Amino acid sequence: MRERQPAVYIMASRRNGTLYTGVTSNLVQRVWQHREELGGFSTRYDCKMLVWFEMHATMETAIVREKQIKAGSRARKLALIEADNPLWRDLWSDILDGSE
């Protein structure tokens, strides 16, 4: 994974718990910030598990996708997660392995 590559991601507090959808140009750094509670939402709602992400070629396409996901229902977000990650594994180690 390139250090600077746009991505859309979903963090969760636990399976079927609170969800946070975001966009970033550096997924590893941003997820680390969530895990270290360096943002208000992460601290308040304990969203430390990376449960879904999607890489994009440009920030523009990533932002469009983030808005599309945020505009969707909770059920659609859950379906998106479960389609790729049915066990709700924390994907943190997956993105670390891919960043080398």
Domain holding 12, by residue range, is: 7-98
The type of residue at 31 is V
Q: Which residues contact 90 (CB under 8 A, 6 or more apart)?
A: 48, 49, 50, 51
Per-residue pLDDT tens over the stretch 47-65: 999 999 999 999 999 999 9
Does the pLDDT of residue 93 top 60, yes or no? Answer: yes
Asked if the structure places residue 21 within a domain, the reply is yes
Asked if the structure places residue 67 within a domain, the reply is yes
Distance of CA 12 to the CA centre of its chain: 8
Asked if the structure places residue 55 within a domain, the reply is yes
Asked if the structure places residue 2 within a domain, the reply is no
Asked if the structure places residue 1 within a domain, the reply is no
How many domains are contained in the chain?
1
**Residue 30, pLDDT score:** 93
Q: Which residues contact 43 (CB under 8 A, 6 or more apart)?
A: 37
Task: Determine if the pTM surpasses 0.95.
Answer: no
CATH code (residue 91): 3.40.1440
Per-residue pLDDT tens over the stretch 10-42: 999 999 999 999 999 999 999 999 988 876 777
The type of residue at 75 is A
- The half-sphere exposure of 93 on its side-chain side, counting CA atoms within 13 A, is 2
